[in-house]
Amino acid sequence: MKRYKFRLERLLGLRTAAERERARLFGRAEDAAAIARRVAAASAQLEREAEEQVARALSGAVPAGLAANLGAARDRIAGRHDADQAASCDADRARDAALDDYRAAHRGRRVLERLSEIRREAHQLEQGREERRDMDEIASRVRLEGLRP
């Protein structure tokens, strides 16, 4: 009997390569999301410190110009924190999309692998049947030849 060959082997190779690429992209997206979360946490800490500093400074008598400058600096820091939070959310969404892409590529590869396994098992079963038929045929010939004088 001929050797087993999965006709979709090339497609399986392409799907495997696509899955590896999606995994790499997911890793990059995960790294970017982690960095964005750290930046957002740092800007939140900076915003809290700025609020405390402004509150301490404004608790006493302060020239109007200084109060305005402190308020403007606090507003800029708050704006930066908002932008960092938005960037963190965007990075999380990009990571989630990359994870979905990876999962889809993984499922596509697994489908082909499972199909290959099923076909290989069917091939092995048929090969076993053919071998049993051949053995039965040989045994029948030997029996027939053994009965002849």
Give the CA distances from residue 87 to residues 26, 75, 79, 96, 123, in Å, rounded to whole numbers and listed in that order. Answer: 17, 18, 12, 14, 54
The per-residue pLDDT for range 108-144, each reduced to its tens digit, is 999 999 999 998 899 999 999 999 998 998 888 888 7
Q: Give Cα 84 to chain centroid, integer Å.
A: 24
Q: Hey, how many other C-beta atoms are within 10 angstroms of the C-beta on 64?
A: 7
Q: Hey, how many other C-beta atoms are within 10 angstroms of the C-beta on 102?
A: 21
| pTM exceeds cut of 0.75 | no
Q: Residue ranges per domain, the chain?
A: 20-147
The per-residue pLDDT for range 30-75, each reduced to its tens digit, is 999 999 999 999 999 999 998 888 888 878 777 888 888 888 988 9
The residue count of the chain comes to 149
Say if CB 91 and CB 36 are below 8 A apart: yes
